[in-house]
Structure 1
Amino acid sequence: MSMWFKRVDIGEIEKAKRALPHYFSILKGDEEPNFFQAKKVSVEFDEGASLEELWQLHKKGMELLREGEFKENPEKSLLDLKVIIANKILEKCELCEIKCGVNRKESIGYCRVRESLIASDFLHLGEEPELVPSYTIFFSGCNFRCVFCQNWDISQQRVGVHYSPEEVVIKIGVAYARGAKNVNFVGGEPTPNLPFILEVLRHVKVPIPVLWNSNMYMSGEAMELLDGVVDVYLGDFKWGNDKCAIKNSKAPRYWETVT
């Protein structure tokens, strides 16, 4: 049996339990992670439909999710629909607020991402005590150009390994068996890798909470796709005004985007 050494502050953990009741209920086995429930919402759709039509179906699917209208193993699910929409957005990418419009199925976007590359992945003990051990997946690429970036080698360069979704599913299962409390998507920045991440979660069978560790500089469409999938957001807020955001991260419209 693995043994994990970490700092423990009972008072802080109690505060976290009050702030994150859903997360702790998943850990206790009393609730399912959000993406499990998104798999149980039956949605009929045609993959060849327009984005506008698919978004309308997504809206109806989210209503069913909130109403708790679940069906075991539907032919097509809300999570399946999210994957289709995310991949269509890639054809003229607007996943983040840069909205570069690049067809990322054929070319590298502003984020320096085409196919998703994983720079490293491991059981992380450096997060808050209630989150560790956390199976943390570091993607390369980022939509920021921070002058102080501590992960410059992976955020600004195309490095890492391109795994199939099925390979990452196996990695998540192994980490869960070793005691991981969650799967933590980070980078770089996870947002450019959203279609790949959703595809991975379609196939994950273990009830592991999903953490989204992000600069939160994403489009409204990306937020809608994450809604009903992510269990905990770890927002890395960097700037209190747009002037600093543009100067130090090349991130226009920062404040209105992240707030």
Structure 2
Amino acid sequence: MSLGHYLAVVRGKQLPFWWRSKFLTALNGFSSLPTEQLWQLHDELTKSLHTKQRRNEPAQQAGRNSLLDLKIELTRRIYRSCTLCPLMCRIDRMNGEVGRCGLKADAHAFREGLLVSEEPFIVPTYELFLTGCNMRCKFCQAWEGVVRTNLGFKLTGSNFAPKVERKAKRGALNIHFVGGEPTVNLLAVLVSLKSLKVPLPIVWNTNLFATDEAMKLLDGVVDLFVADFKFGNDECAWGIGGVRGYVATVQSNLLKASRIASLVIRHLVMPGHIECCLVPVVSWVTQNLPKVTFHLMLNYLPDWRAWSDKALSRRLNESEKQRAMAIVKSVGLKRVLISG
């Protein structure tokens, strides 16, 4: 889908997926149905979102449930034995249990604001940095929000909607969920969207270390994925990010993301990890998603646990930057951004 859908929403030619999900009528009384039947209904309704749409959708009938309500119900059920990410903790988040991400049912934003330092087609963007993450990257610059999951303010519809409305008046083009990792905060995000009356597109800044169920729930909510493809092999993913089975999971989810929304792929070049990580990442993207915008990030800064890792405890040198740029420019990617 490249950037087509997202840009059409920004320009007022299409409505955001989440907005259409909010007004797409679903079956009433679905909370009593078995989960398998709910997924069937969900998939049918989500598929209809990708058909030709009108700019002005009809209002939902009063008292009727929507596709967004259905997504909320399914997410609540997942939270009772959480399987949103491949770690498959299966803890009951609705009853206060926590797994690797450190989160219960609530979400907290430890930072928020109108920012202009992202990709040019995203800014100005209203970013909410949500606590908690299912990865533990040694160099994480948001580490405080990852380990202190109650930091900041609780995300609710009553405080989310006014903030968005104020930022929209100041020129925000979108609502940009960052982390930590937003996917493990999915329930609170969906519930908060129900209260929102401003149809801004949703940007989902994610590590894409998520299950098929999570990706299906994001379909019909996210308008633009800004996805980190961090590691080019599973050994580096385990040693630096603390997760196993990383590469196949992210590759699969990048393909899914490209089919259900607009997509930008980011790769932060790590010192000493050009051949093992950048090269295979660029090779895979070139072969599988050559038309997707690829953002090469050369602004690595050591933080958190990176100081204890000799390879990661420094910035990129000029030789590494030149090598990284040469690699990306040599493969024929159609849309490349370079920063740092």
Q: Return the TM-score normalized by structure 1.
A: 0.89
Matched, 1:73 2:67: no
Once residues 164 and 58 of structure 1 are traced to their aligned partners in structure 2, the CA distance between those partners, rounded to angstroms, is: 24
Matched, 1:53 2:45: no
Once residues 215 and 163 of structure 1 are traced to their aligned partners in structure 2, the CA distance between those partners, rounded to angstroms, is: 21
Output aligned runs, 1:149-228, within 5 Å: 149-158=140-149, 159-228=151-220
Aligned-residue offset at 1:21 = 2.0
Please tell me the residue identity of whatever aligns with 2:108. Answer: L
Once residues 65 and 235 of structure 1 are traced to their aligned partners in structure 2, the CA distance between those partners, rounded to angstroms, is: 22
Aligned-residue CA RMSD (Å): 1.6
Once residues 40 and 212 of structure 1 are traced to their aligned partners in structure 2, the CA distance between those partners, rounded to angstroms, is: 21
Matched, 1:63 2:47: yes
Paired position in structure 1 for 2:291: none
Question: Which structure would you say has the larger RCO, counting Cα contacts within 8 Å and 6 or more residues apart?
Answer: 1
Do 1:184 and 1:213's aligned partners in 2 also have CA atoms closer than 8 Å?
A: yes
Paired position in structure 1 for 2:130: 139
Once residues 180 and 155 of structure 2 are traced to their aligned partners in structure 1, the CA distance between those partners, rounded to angstroms, is: 17
**SS, match of residue 80 in structure 2:** helix
Aligned-residue offset at 1:71 = 4.8
Paired position in structure 2 for 1:11: none
Do 1:42 and 1:71's aligned partners in 2 also have CA atoms closer than 8 Å?
A: no
Once residues 204 and 105 of structure 1 are traced to their aligned partners in structure 2, the CA distance between those partners, rounded to angstroms, is: 24
Please tell me the residue identity of whatever aligns with 2:84. Answer: L
Do 1:217 and 1:254's aligned partners in 2 also have CA atoms closer than 8 Å?
A: yes
Q: Which protein has the larger Cα radius of gyration, Structure 1 or Structure 2?
A: 2
**SS, match of residue 107 in structure 2:** coil
Do 1:33 and 1:210's aligned partners in 2 also have CA atoms closer than 8 Å?
A: yes
How many residue pairs get aligned? The number is 242
Do 1:136 and 1:186's aligned partners in 2 also have CA atoms closer than 8 Å?
A: yes
Paired position in structure 2 for 1:33: 16
Once residues 61 and 71 of structure 1 are traced to their aligned partners in structure 2, the CA distance between those partners, rounded to angstroms, is: 16
Paired position in structure 1 for 2:103: 113
Please tell me the residue identity of whatever aligns with 1:254. Answer: Y
Deviation sequence 1:178-235 (CA, Å, 0-9, x none): 1101100011110110011111122211120100000010111010001011110000
Once residues 108 and 240 of structure 1 are traced to their aligned partners in structure 2, the CA distance between those partners, rounded to angstroms, is: 29
Unaligned runs of 5+ in 1: 1-17
Which residue of 89, 97, 121 maps to 1:130? 121
Once residues 39 and 143 of structure 1 are traced to their aligned partners in structure 2, the CA distance between those partners, rounded to angstroms, is: 28
Paired position in structure 2 for 1:12: none
**SS, match of residue 203 in structure 2:** strand
Do 2:17 and 2:49's aligned partners in 1 also have CA atoms closer than 8 Å?
A: no
Identity %, equivalent residues = 37
**SS, match of residue 57 in structure 1:** helix
**SS, match of residue 112 in structure 1:** coil
Matched, 1:90 2:73: no
Aligned-residue offset at 1:85 = 0.5
Deviation sequence 1:16-48 (CA, Å, 0-9, x none): xx9412222222211111111112322104212
Do 1:41 and 1:64's aligned partners in 2 also have CA atoms closer than 8 Å?
A: no
Which residue of 91, 115, 126 maps to 1:102? 91
Change (3 A) 1:80 1:68: farther
Aligned-residue offset at 1:128 = 1.2
Which residue of 235, 259, 265 maps to 1:243? 235
Deviation sequence 1:144-164 (CA, Å, 0-9, x none): 011111111111222222132
Aligned-residue offset at 1:91 = 0.3
Do 1:131 and 1:182's aligned partners in 2 also have CA atoms closer than 8 Å?
A: yes
Once residues 51 and 115 of structure 2 are traced to their aligned partners in structure 1, the CA distance between those partners, rounded to angstroms, is: 35
Once residues 176 and 31 of structure 2 are traced to their aligned partners in structure 1, the CA distance between those partners, rounded to angstroms, is: 29
Unaligned runs of 5+ in 2: 252-340
Please tell me the residue identity of whatever aligns with 1:133. Answer: P
Q: Return the TM-score normalized by structure 2.
A: 0.68
